[in-house]
Amino acid sequence: MGKPVWRLTVRSEFCASHALRHYEGKCENLHGHNFAVEAVVEGDRLSPGTEIVLDFKVLKGELNTVLDLLDHHNLNEVPPFDTINPSSENLARFIYTALAPRLAPHGVRMHAVTVSEKAAQSATYMECD
């Protein structure tokens, strides 16, 4: 039998504006989105007593703490997006790398972060060994 792994997923959102540099289209102009964010973490142990990997409330709280850095801002003015494009791909990587150390003390590890500008398309960031 293999090693057990549980994956937990929480979803949240933030509102922000951005302009994609060098896009050569309408998205090069400043515009806004209600960005949807999905964070997926993994754990290999259940807590004694409650038998959960991590309280969803804790996971969502940590995600929202990271999203507060972006919410209701012009992303082109928020580091590191003042120098790199605030694309969904880069937003997913930023959220992943900001969230990972916040979750380490809780005994879980990041699996993936997905960012959507619209329901029909999304960008996912993960790190593979």
Run of H or E including 91: helix 88-103
Give the domain ranges of the chain. 6-125
What is the reported pTM? 0.95
The CA-atom distances, in angstroms, between 117 and each of 4, 13, 16, 101, 102 are 34, 10, 10, 25, 25
Query: Any binding-site annotation on 31?
Result: yes
Taking the chain (129 residues) in runs of 10, the rounded mean pLDDT of each run is 93 97 93 97 94 97 98 98 97 98 95 94 94
Beta strands in 19-120 (DSSP E): 31-43, 109-118
Query: Any binding-site annotation on 33?
Result: yes
What percentage of the chain has pLDDT greater than the value 70? 100
CB atoms within 10 A of CB 26: 8
Give the DSSP letter of residue 46.
Answer: P
Q: Is 6-125 a domain of CATH 3.30.479.10?
A: yes
Contacts 24+ apart (CB under 8 A), 71-79: 71/14, 71/15, 71/16, 72/14, 72/15, 72/16, 73/16, 73/17, 74/16, 74/17, 74/18, 74/30, 75/16, 75/17, 75/18, 76/18, 76/19, 76/21, 76/30
- Active-site positions? 27, 72, 117
Cα distance between residue 11 and residue 105, in whole Å: 21
Q: What is the pLDDT of residues 86-108, one digit of tens each?
A: 999 999 999 999 999 999 999 99
